[in-house]
Amino acid sequence: MKRTKKEARLKRKIRIRKKIRGTAERPRLVVFRSNRYIYAQLVDDTEGKTLTSFSSLVLGKNLTKETAKEVGLKIAELAKEKKVEQVVFDRNGYIYHGRVKALAEGAREGGLKF
């Protein structure tokens, strides 16, 4: 039986999450992409808490590469307020291109180190 796109992404997500963990000094930058919006959050896995989050829903814009880059810049700005310099990037099973890549580049431009 063939896997659906969602099932394949969830399998990749599990495989990735086995290897990466976020800490207080270096939280995990998680990306979630829906058809209309893109979301990013910083997670401390040792405490099990979300430090900060931001999405294109807050901007009120439709999902484009430019919007994803804006979200990356804003999450980097929020991370700076929390005194976070380095993060572990969790693409959440999505392929690293297009909007996910634009968000990562925006976060790097904002000053985060992966």
What domains can you pick out in the chain, each with its CATH number? 5-109 (3.30.420.100)
pLDDT at 1: 77
With 0-12 / 13-18 / 19 or more C-beta atoms within 10 angstroms meaning exposed / middle / buried, residue 4 is exposed
Residues 89, 104 contacting (CB under 8 angstroms):
yes
Which residues of the chain register pLDDT less than 70?
none
pLDDT for 53: 96
Q: What is the DSSP letter of 46?
A: T
Determine the pLDDT at residue 69: 96
What pLDDT is stored for residue 62 in this prediction? 85
**What is the model's pLDDT at position 45?**
93
Structure tokens at 86: 């380095």
